[in-house]
Structure 1
Amino acid sequence: MPTSVELAAMRRAIVISASGLGATSPNPAVGCVILDAAGRQAGEGFHLRKGDAHAEVNALAAAGGRAAGGTAVVTLEPCNHEGLTPPCHQALLDAGITRVLIAVMDPTSRGAGGAARLRQAGVDVHTHVLEEEALLVLGPWLAALSYRRPALHLLMQADAAGGVSPLSAEALVEIEVERHAHDLLISPDGSVEEGRSGSHGRGFSVPAAMPNEPDGALAVVAEAGARSVLLVGPSDLGKRLLNRSLIDRLTLFMPVPGPSQPATSSPSLPDGFVLSRIARTSCQLVIRAERR
């Protein structure tokens, strides 16, 4: 069973893994913490972008010789194949790691996964450690693999009558926050930008134009290498994707209702969505919903 120190290390790995959001696609955003043989933190790292070293390698580099006999705490199963970088399970073995804790198993493993190969080498491996918490970061990447398309997040502004309206100042602020965790931002006019300008590595390209119909738009963003996309409404594309049940996350801004405002004026969530967050700004309600 994981110790309290190891669970704290996993939560730290989850937190730092989010540093790679909006930059690692088509790879996942992963974090890793190395504990030395005495259980003290020796190093940490995250995957910066495709083509760069993975989280485990960065954490091992930070730990240096203190990794020998220690524990690797990683949010995603260490990779077992050589791509642009060597396999991470072998890097852990070469560093003398004797125990590995993994939050989420990698569905892209080829043949025997990294966890199986570590066990075969005599490493003590524990899987599904704080998996639900790690999915806060890895969830969109896994969804993109499952759906064979990028995970789509639609942000819209509602007016007092429940209809879609131009974006409020609070919604514009939220967009500037949210865009950094997405590969691409699609504006209401169809223009496309990187969520974080210049953040991606090789093999990623920003589409020059976005078709106004769902199948063509999804093909374009998938070809670019995107795994998560933020769409800003109101737009015909966002509406069509929503009608086709292709939106995975919805963020809705609406004015705080007045005391005499009829309850029927509030917008309702589309079928298939459940509330995941409700907050308030100075004069807006922020409603977040996820597709079941």
Structure 2
Amino acid sequence: MADPAELAAMRRAISLAALGLGTTSPNPPVGCVILDRRGVVVGEGFHERKGEAHAEAHALAMAGDRARGGTAVVTLEPCNHFGRTPPCRKLLIEAGIARCVIAVIDPTSREEGGAARLRAAGIDVEVGVLADEAELVLGPWLRALRTGRPFVTWASLAEVDGGRSSLPDPLLAEVRASVDAVLAEDGQVFEGVRGGHGPGMVELDGLASGGSPADLLASLHQGGVRSAVLNYNETNATSFLAAGLVDQVLVYLPARSAGSGGLGFGPEEFIPARYELREVRKTNGFVVIRAERA
């Protein structure tokens, strides 16, 4: 069973993994922490971009010889295949890791998987450690694998009359910072994280939406997109909602002017049927609600 140092390291690895949101697709956002024999953190890293070093490689490079006899704590099962980078299970074995703590098994594992290969090499492997917490970051990627389309968030600005409009650029900048693509009301699709995704990512700029919502999302998924934001008003989002293609809604509720008593409307007005409230927070003069499809 994972000890307190390993649990703390896993939560740190989960936080590190979030730094890769929006830039790793179609690969998953993964974090890794290396503990030495005494349980002290000696290395850490996260997968930054597709085609570049994985989380384990970054963490092992930082740890150096201190990794020998230590523990690798990783949010997703180390990969077991050769691609643009060598298999992470091979790097861990060569580094002399004695134990590997894994949150989530990789559903895309090839052959017997990295965990099995690590065990075969004599490494103690524990799986399922803080898996629910790890899925706070891995969840959209895992959902995209199951559905064959990106994890979709409908983001909107609440209007006093009960309607919803698309987000203005300052608010959209916050939302797009952790997704692969943004679908705009004018039918265009563009990259979520500014600065691009690196080699192999689908070319999004100027891509017309066209076709049905399902066709568009399937096309984006095929091109490598695993998470997308609909920056739509209520009318334009209707077809996606009706088809069951929205995984969560994000609504910005403007605060009323000082002394007016708070919000001019309640969150319940903006949560669609079959969605459940998951988060309420305050940011820059807005109350933001997040609801997920039940």
TM-score w.r.t. the length of structure 2 is: 0.91
The equivalent residue for 1:278 is 280
User: How many residues of Structure 1 are paired with residues of Structure 2 in the alignment?
Assistant: 289
Q: Which moved more, 1:146-155 or 1:226-235?
A: 226-235
Q: Secondary structure at the match of 1:122?
A: coil
- Identity score, percent: 48
8 Å CA contact retained: 1:154, 1:238: yes
* In 2, Cα distance between equivalents of 1:260 and 1:59: 47
* In 2, Cα distance between equivalents of 1:265 and 1:221: 31
The letter for the 1-side match of 2:125 is: V
* In 2, Cα distance between equivalents of 1:113 and 1:31: 18
* In 1, Cα distance between equivalents of 2:99 and 2:263: 59
Change (3 A) 1:265 1:274: closer
Change (3 A) 1:12 1:259: closer
Where structure 1 has 5 or more consecutive residues not aligned to the other structure, the ranges are none
Map Cα deviations across residues 227-262 of structure 1 (whole Å, 9 max, x no partner). Answer: 000110216552211111110010012345766999
Alignment of 1:120-269 (within 5 A): 120-165=120-165, 167=167, 172-207=169-204, 208-211=207-210, 213-234=212-233, 237-256=236-255, 267-269=269-271
Alignment of 1:42-61 (within 5 A): 42-61=42-61
The letter for the 2-side match of 1:285 is: V
The letter for the 2-side match of 1:224 is: G
* In 1, Cα distance between equivalents of 2:53 and 2:237: 36
Map Cα deviations across residues 144-202 of structure 1 (whole Å, 9 max, x no partner). Answer: 001111100110122122122354xxx64432112110001122212222112333122
Change (3 A) 1:223 1:37: same
8 Å CA contact retained: 1:162, 1:266: no
* In 2, Cα distance between equivalents of 1:118 and 1:165: 51
The letter for the 2-side match of 1:270 is: P
The letter for the 2-side match of 1:288 is: R
Change (3 A) 1:256 1:39: same
8 Å CA contact retained: 2:182, 2:229: yes
* In 2, Cα distance between equivalents of 1:136 and 1:34: 21
8 Å CA contact retained: 1:210, 1:220: no
The letter for the 1-side match of 2:31 is: G
The equivalent residue for 1:291 is 293
1:24 to 2:21 alignment: no
TM-score w.r.t. the length of structure 1 is: 0.92
Change (3 A) 1:286 1:64: same
Change (3 A) 1:72 1:263: closer
8 Å CA contact retained: 1:163, 1:267: no
- Report deviation, 1:220: 2.8
Map Cα deviations across residues 39-79 of structure 1 (whole Å, 9 max, x no partner). Answer: 11111111111111111111111111111111000000001
8 Å CA contact retained: 1:22, 1:199: no
* In 2, Cα distance between equivalents of 1:264 and 1:230: 23
8 Å CA contact retained: 2:75, 2:134: yes
Change (3 A) 1:80 1:150: same
The equivalent residue for 2:12 is 12
Q: Secondary structure at the match of 2:129?
A: coil
- Report deviation, 1:103: 0.7
Alignment of 1:70-89 (within 5 A): 70-89=70-89
* In 2, Cα distance between equivalents of 1:264 and 1:195: 29
Change (3 A) 1:174 1:133: farther
Change (3 A) 1:120 1:245: same
8 Å CA contact retained: 2:180, 2:226: yes
The letter for the 1-side match of 2:178 is: A
The letter for the 2-side match of 1:194 is: E
TM-align CA RMSD: 2.2
* In 1, Cα distance between equivalents of 2:66 and 2:224: 37
* In 2, Cα distance between equivalents of 1:97 and 1:59: 12
